[in-house]
Structure 1
Amino acid sequence: MTDQPFDSADSSNRLFGRRKGRPLRKRRTELLDTLLPTLEIPVPKPGERVDPQSLFTRPGQSEPAQDVWLEVGFGSGHHLAWQARHNPEIGLIGAEPFVNGVAALLGLLDDDKLGNVRVLPDDARPLLDALPDASIGRAFVLFADPWPKKRHADRRFIGPENLPRLARVLKDGAELRLASDDMGLVRWMLEHTVKHPDFEWTARVPSDWRVRPADWPATRYEEKAIAAGRKPVFLRFVRKPRG
């Protein structure tokens, strides 16, 4: 990631990172023009409210999504597409500002004709602010940018700014899944999430954070990290009951 900010819906909450990488192949460019408009969630304006269930209502569909899950920063989309494929009754929202990642996800969705994913190709924070209380059944923040320099630590997504947002939108008992191969970021996420009053770490034995659960597929980034000799850590928290 670069250190150059790009505009977000709220100029006071700058989002740092890349908008676009290498030139896209023809098919992916076409999917951005054809498939993305059918799945895209517009960036909510300040004060706007978004009913997540309504995002998955389509003409001719008789059954609503049984639950809605959210992935913040889905990278190239392999985890999000896997979850959609294996949980057809769940509506999945993915937020990712990196255009190449959005295009890669669209290719996966198109290949498998997956209709239970909606995409916010931008900063997740305006959407989090627009969602109702207790409306999300599971959230994922996997292999986020670690921002290793001390002066950039406040750019990390999991921290004092966004944990209250996640706690507000997650249902009682909902799971928050975090992962990283950067030990500095792992310690940071543990420190902030463990001390947050609305979250409880589920780990009881070392294998709980060393071994990825069966319903948690490997991402491309994770595979590269393992190949490079880095050991990923998998953290699972539950949202404590309100009141």
Structure 2
Amino acid sequence: MTDPATIRRLYGRAKGHKLREGQAALVDRMLPTVAVPAGPLDARVLFGADRPLELEIGFGGGEHLAAQAAARPGTGFIGCEPFLNGVVQALGHLRDGELDNVRLHMGDALDVLEQLPDASLSRVYLLHPDPWPKARHAKRRMANDGPLDLIAAKLRPGAEFRLGTDDPTYCRWACMVLGRRGDFRWTATTARDFLARPADWPETRYERKARRHGHEVWYFQYQRT
């Protein structure tokens, strides 16, 4: 089955409501200073010195990304999001928190993953991705073997892949796809391990929205074997 690693097409919106003057100015002024550059990447290219690297795929409004960066200033974070309005919100978080350990890419996370050397990431986050609930759209889900092959290659042995979702279809799909792979080990030993949000997993707006609607949320943590 064709999946996102081969079709390389972003689905959904790239822009929402028109940016206000201040938001547009923030994009023009700040985004170039924190944008992921073209070409091969490593911690020195991104941050000027060696440090652990983590990457979030589809950071939404950037609240989780910013919270992780604020909690661990010695780690470098890469956030990828194709939606302009989400990038604007993330820029606001970086500005307000005076965070200098984050780089942003407005586009496809798979492109950035390909720029990184193998075994270079300490953690990858995929939080509340678009579930594409219809069976004919399953090929568009990020939790497919193509993207997971790339994620696995870029994670160090022993590193962590975090997946969060409130969609039952995506939950079952991800369990199926990841469960048949030999390069990821699900670390849960009790139900609480995937039903309760870990203390170092900041809440996202999507999680809050899901709980307002009475949805259950699942927190998956996989170790790169």
Settle same-fold status: TM greater than 0.5: yes
Indicate if the aligned counterparts of 2:6 and 2:146 stay in contact, CA closer than 8 A: no
| Aligned counterpart, 2:17 | 22
Corresponding residue SS for 2:132: coil
RMSD: 1.6
Asked which structure has the greater RCO (Cα within 8 Å, sep 6+), the reply is 2
Deviation at 1:197, TM superposition (A): 1.2
Corresponding residue SS for 2:160: strand
Deviation at 1:127, TM superposition (A): 1.3
Q: In 2, distance between residues paired with 1:12 and 1:185?
A: 20
Q: In 2, distance between residues paired with 1:181 and 1:12?
A: 26
Matched, 1:54 2:11: no
Corresponding residue to 1:41 among 36, 40, 43: 36
Deviation at 1:12, TM superposition (A): 4.2
Q: For residues 227 and 203 of structure 1, do their structure 2 counterparts lie closer, same or farther at Cα, with a shift above 3 Å needed?
A: same
Q: In 2, distance between residues paired with 1:77 and 1:145?
A: 16
Q: In 1, distance between residues paired with 2:66 and 2:90?
A: 7
Q: In 2, distance between residues paired with 1:185 and 1:110?
A: 34
Deviation at 1:50, TM superposition (A): 2.0
State percent identity of aligned pairs: 44
Q: In 2, distance between residues paired with 1:104 and 1:115?
A: 16
Q: Which moved more, 1:98-107 or 1:189-198?
A: 189-198
Corresponding residue SS for 1:237: strand
Matched, 1:229 2:214: yes
Per the normalisation by structure 2, the TM-score is 0.95
| Aligned counterpart, 1:239 | 224
What stretches of structure 1 move > 3 A for 4+ residues in a row?
A: none
Corresponding residue SS for 2:146: coil
Matches within 5 A, 1:106-121: 106-121=91-106
Q: In 1, distance between residues paired with 2:197 and 2:212?
A: 16
In proportion to residue count, which structure has more helix?
2
Q: In 1, distance between residues paired with 2:7 and 2:63?
A: 31
Corresponding residue SS for 1:161: helix
Matched, 1:100 2:91: no
Matched, 1:190 2:175: yes
Corresponding residue SS for 1:66: coil
| Aligned counterpart, 2:125 | 140
Give 1:32's aligned amino acid: V
Indicate if the aligned counterparts of 1:65 and 1:90 stay in contact, CA closer than 8 A: no
| Aligned counterpart, 2:135 | 150
Per the normalisation by structure 1, the TM-score is 0.88
Corresponding residue SS for 2:65: helix
The number of equivalent residue pairs is 222
Give 2:170's aligned amino acid: L
Q: In 2, distance between residues paired with 1:230 and 1:196?
A: 28
Give 1:79's aligned amino acid: H
Gaps of 5+ in 2: none
